[in-house]
Amino acid sequence: MINKNNNECETQACNYPKIRTRFYNGMLLTDQHLRDEQEYHREKLKSVNRHLFGSGIVCGLKVTAPKVGLCIKIEPGVALDCCGNLIEVCKCINLDLSKLCKEKYGQSCIATDDSTSPVIRKNLVLSYAEKESDPEPVLTPAADCRSAGDKSSCQQSKVKEGYCIELWDEKQCPCMETKRGGVKPEGDPKTGGDVPNPPDPVEAPKAGTEKPMMQTRTAIEQKTWEDVLEAFLEDNPLPCYPCGCCKNSVGLATLEIDCVANTVKVEKTCRTYVISPRLVRWIVSSIQTKEGARRSLLDYMPVSGGETEPGSGEPPKETTPVDTTDKSTKKSAAASKKAADKSAETETQSPPPDDSKK
């Protein structure tokens, strides 16, 4: 068989990379047939999750740390890993990080070398995991012919699906292509896989090009949204994930562990979100109405007098309300008030009537 490279033309336009079992009456079923059936549907579902929704946090999984102490808290939530596996955490997890300091600096947790920083930076990662369980005896004709002292052979009958909380090196963060938008064709093992290239810098317009730019803007305004979107995707196609190359993990946060100060700082560097329809509805409804203590997305927008960093959780500073009353309305109200004050002053200065002349 001759291996062809990407530049050579194919003489056959059909390809069938996926296989599923075709059952028929009288078929001799084996365990491999049933495993293939499960594997086919599981891989299809993972492919849908991966290519349509991407990877990241679906909901919850907030990571918090106390002001003092090396124990962090991970709240319940759901995530999609880089391969499309759905990971569900149904209870709070309290993770002790003091072991890292003891392994690096001993029981004192103090750096003996002045050149060594007492701060440890790690990426907190949630990984999908499986474990076989529930052994059962194998019932085959060969088992009936075993000797009296031989033990019966057993096989694991179930597969448990779960997760593991792991601490990765700071330079390794899974699924970072959803953080910036873009996928490299080949993963970089030093950075954890699919890390995109930085976008090309946008050059400032040169002098004398204002008129062509205005003409281009006018031409764009005359097009429909469908035309603009089609032109954009033609020049900037959405990259696909590489087939068969993914990690069963998703980033939760970046941790900065200070072994001397006994503190943990939680950063959002290694954390991405799945832009699901449910999330879009949640954001839109937060803008339309505020329910109880729930805050609107507009509260996180920068405003004059009090800028708020998105995701900081701190409310913006109160600003002086701006009077948006129309100027003509203000003048009319001022004139009416002035006339009323003048009338009241005239009535006060006028002398009382003389009853003696009557």
- pLDDT for 183 equals 42
3-state class (DSSP) for residue 79: strand
Chain segment 15-62, per-residue pLDDT in tens: 888 899 999 999 999 999 999 999 999 999 999 999 999 999 999 999
Q: Is the pTM of this model over 0.75?
A: no
How many Å separate Cα 4 from the centre of its chain? 39
Q: pLDDT band at residue 227, thresholds of 50, 70 and 90?
A: confident
Mean pLDDT of 8-20: 81
* DSSP output for 169-238: ETT--TTTHHHHT---SS-BGGGTB--PPPPPPPPPPPTT-HHHHHHHHHHHHHS-HHHHHHHHHHHSPP
Q: What angle do CA 220, 226, 229 make, to 5 degrees?
A: 70
Number of CB atoms found within 10 A of residue 254's CB? 20
What is the residue extent of each domain of the chain? 31-137+154-198+246-272
For 298, phi then psi, to 5°, come to -65, -20
Q: How far apart are CA 83 and CA 247, in angstroms?
A: 6
pLDDT of residue 296 exceeding 60, the answer is: yes
- Both structure tokens of 334: 């001022």
Share of the chain above pLDDT 70, in %: 60
* 245 or 149, higher pLDDT: 245
Structure tokens at 3: 């291996």
pLDDT in tens, 183-199: 443 444 334 444 444 44
More confident residue, 210 or 236: 236
Note the pLDDT of residue 187: 42
Summary mean pLDDT of the chain: 76
* Predicted confidence (pLDDT) per residue in 263-292, tens digit: 999 999 999 999 999 998 888 887 766 555
| pLDDT at residue 3, as a whole number | 55
Residues 291 and 279: their CA atoms lie apart, in Å, by: 16
Q: In this model, does residue 167 exceed pLDDT 90?
A: yes
Please tell me which residue, 105 or 228, carries the higher pLDDT value: 228
CA distances from 2 to 5, 6, 7, 80 (A): 10, 13, 14, 39
First to last CA, the chain: 134
Hey, which bits of the chain come out as E strands?
Answer: 56-60, 63-64, 71-74, 77-80, 86-89, 93-96, 119-137, 154-169, 249-258, 263-267
